[in-house]
Amino acid sequence: MKKSRRDFIKLSALGAAAVPLNVFSKNEFDLILSPKNKPIVLSTWNFGLKANEAAWEVLKNNGRALDAVEAGVKVPEGDPMQRTVGLGGRPDRDGRVTLDACIMDELSNIGSVASLEYISHPISVARAVMEKTPHVMLVGDGALQFALSQGFKKESFMNEQTKNEWKEWLKKNDYKPVVNIENHDTIGMIAMDSAGNLSGACTTSGMAYKMHGRVGDSPIIGAGLYVDNEIGAATATGHGEEVIRIAGSHLVVELMRHGNSPKDACKLAVERIMKLQLLRNKNLKDIQVGFIALNKKGEYGAYCLQSGFNYAVNDNTGNKMVDSDYSLK
Ligand code: ASP
């Protein structure tokens, strides 16, 4: 139902006393007050389906998007069978499993950890950084010391299979992240709750056999994840170096701010990466990047460079996998 101008002024006066009237157009204000498809949660790759289920438990009970995305990504983080996130993650070339994660809420509170070892739920450490420290990012040993001080327990990672695979890899010692083969793959999750608020989380073990200390896009706010509660949210997967190069998730949100649909915003960001790759005389076939995005109306979309990227969406119609459209056809 369309709101009359008088309703708009009434709402402005009541609901947003602190917001100057000229900040939003009437249409924007309507969207902020009444997104159509909520709650909703989206996450990257096949493991997104199970992760969405956990997030949906929170969302369907009118919980906060922030709690939903944390609960959601904790599912693959805690699953030793997932070889690219959390507990089951593959190591770097020195045989150390180092994890990256970040989280962002509807008030632009942010928290992040990078190169964190021994802790199976880096997303919860990132949330603790956000809520319990004056900082936004902790790395390496500092992140570990902080996690331990918060009661997180050290766990042993590298099981026999992981160790054997790593030893096999050492024989050739050839570092070339393989496109769409599950030796990286991040879970990025973005959600809107029934109050219409957005949050996001992103967590990964990064590129298998990376240099020790390498950090990808996933724990970097604006690269692997970005949320603007007036506009929408986006998250990324794929070759983190390329996503960082264009501040990818922030770019996707800005492109939505300028009127692009979530899918078009993701496509424009992917095309920018492609352009830079060509400019730098690199082969497009050597990289994969994918974005998913959600706007304030509950519309969503994705785009990636090469075929093979998919994502999971859970809304009031159910939980399903969607294949992303892509550029290199
Ligand atoms: N973006 C992750 C990284 O660069 C990996 C991935 O999502 O495939 O660490």
Q: Are 216 and 244 in contact (CB under 8 A)?
A: yes
Question: Which has more confidence, 300 or 19?
Answer: 300
Query: Are residues 83 and 185 both part of a single domain?
Result: yes
Residue 15 lies in domain = 1-33
- Provide the pLDDT confidence category of residue 82 given band limits of 50, 70 and 90: confident
Distance 183 CA to ligand 1 centre (A): 9
* Best residue for ligand 1 mutational test, from 85, 180, 184 (most atoms within 8 Å of Cβ): 184
- Provide the pLDDT confidence category of residue 9 given band limits of 50, 70 and 90: very low
Query: Are residues 9 and 57 both part of a single domain?
Result: no
- Provide the pLDDT confidence category of residue 74 given band limits of 50, 70 and 90: very high
Assess whether pLDDT exceeds 90 at residue 317: yes
Question: Which has more confidence, 278 or 28?
Answer: 278
Assess whether pLDDT exceeds 70 at residue 178: no
CA dihedral 303, 308, 309, 312 (to 10 degrees): 120
Q: Under 8 Å CB-to-CB from 301, ≥6 apart: which residues?
A: 261, 262, 263, 264, 265, 266, 292, 293
Query: Are residues 311 and 258 both part of a single domain?
Result: yes
Looking at residue 176, its pLDDT comes to: 72
**Among the ranges 22-26, 30-34, 50-54, 160-164, which has the highest mean pLDDT value?**
50-54
Assess whether pLDDT exceeds 70 at residue 12: no
* Best residue for ligand 1 mutational test, from 178, 181, 186, 189 (most atoms within 8 Å of Cβ): 186
Looking at residue 160, its pLDDT comes to: 84
Query: Are residues 12 and 60 both part of a single domain?
Result: no
Catalytic residue positions, numbered: 186
**Among the ranges 17-21, 90-94, 222-226, which has the highest mean pLDDT value?**
222-226
Distance 230 CA to ligand 1 centre (A): 27
Q: Are 323 and 302 in contact (CB under 8 A)?
A: no
Assess whether pLDDT exceeds 70 at residue 234: yes
Assess whether pLDDT exceeds 90 at residue 219: yes
Distance 122 CA to ligand 1 centre (A): 15
- By CB neighbour count within 10 A (0-12 exposed, 13-18 middle, 19+ buried), where does 60 fall? middle
Query: Are residues 41 and 29 both part of a single domain?
Result: no
Looking at residue 23, its pLDDT comes to: 59
* Best residue for ligand 1 mutational test, from 97, 217, 235, 241 (most atoms within 8 Å of Cβ): 217
Assess whether pLDDT exceeds 80 at residue 312: yes
| pLDDT, mean of residues 64-71 | 98
Whose structure tokens read 């900082």? 135
Looking at residue 19, its pLDDT comes to: 47
Nearest atom in ligand 1 to the alpha carbon of residue 288 is: 8
| pLDDT, mean of residues 75-86 | 89
Looking at residue 231, its pLDDT comes to: 98
- Provide the pLDDT confidence category of residue 29 given band limits of 50, 70 and 90: low
- Provide the pLDDT confidence category of residue 75 given band limits of 50, 70 and 90: very high
Looking at residue 319, its pLDDT comes to: 98
pLDDT digits (tens, 9 = 90+) for 145-161: 999 999 999 998 788 88
Query: Are residues 17 and 42 both part of a single domain?
Result: no
Q: Are 189 and 51 in contact (CB under 8 A)?
A: yes
Distance 1 CA to ligand 1 centre (A): 42
What are the distances in angstroms from CA 72 to CA 67, 87, 138, 171, 261?
Answer: 8, 15, 22, 37, 25
Looking at residue 83, its pLDDT comes to: 83
Query: Are residues 26 and 100 both part of a single domain?
Result: no
| pLDDT, mean of residues 254-280 | 98
Query: Domain containing 193 — which CATH number?
Result: 3.60.20.30
Query: Are residues 14 and 88 both part of a single domain?
Result: no
Which residues in the chain belong to E strands, given as ranges?
Answer: 40-44, 99-104, 110-116, 137-139, 187-192, 198-204, 225-228, 232-238, 289-295, 300-304, 310-315, 318-323
Q: Tell me the residue length of the chain.
A: 329
Structure tokens at 178: 């393989």
Instruction: Give how many domains the chain has, as a whole number.
Output: 2
Distance 289 CA to ligand 1 centre (A): 9
- Provide the pLDDT confidence category of residue 183 given band limits of 50, 70 and 90: low
SS3 94: coil
Determine the distance from the C-alpha atom of residue 240 to the mean position of all C-alpha atoms in its chain, rounded to a whole number. 12
| pLDDT, mean of residues 297-318 | 96
Which residue's alpha carbon is at the smallest distance from atom 4 of ligand 1? Answer: 240
Looking at residue 27, its pLDDT comes to: 53
Assess whether pLDDT exceeds 80 at residue 129: yes
Query: Are residues 27 and 49 both part of a single domain?
Result: no
Assess whether pLDDT exceeds 80 at residue 79: yes
SS3 80: coil
Question: Which has more confidence, 284 or 172?
Answer: 284
Pocket of ligand 1 (CB under 6 A): 184-186, 204, 206-207, 216-218, 237-240
Looking at residue 34, its pLDDT comes to: 57
Q: Under 8 Å CB-to-CB from 106, ≥6 apart: which residues?
A: 65, 66, 197, 198, 199, 227, 229
Nearest atom in ligand 1 to the alpha carbon of residue 243 is: 1
Query: Are residues 12 and 125 both part of a single domain?
Result: no
Query: Are residues 158 and 12 both part of a single domain?
Result: no
Query: Are residues 225 and 288 both part of a single domain?
Result: yes
Q: Are 206 and 100 in contact (CB under 8 A)?
A: yes
Q: Distance between terminal CA atoms of the chain? A: 42
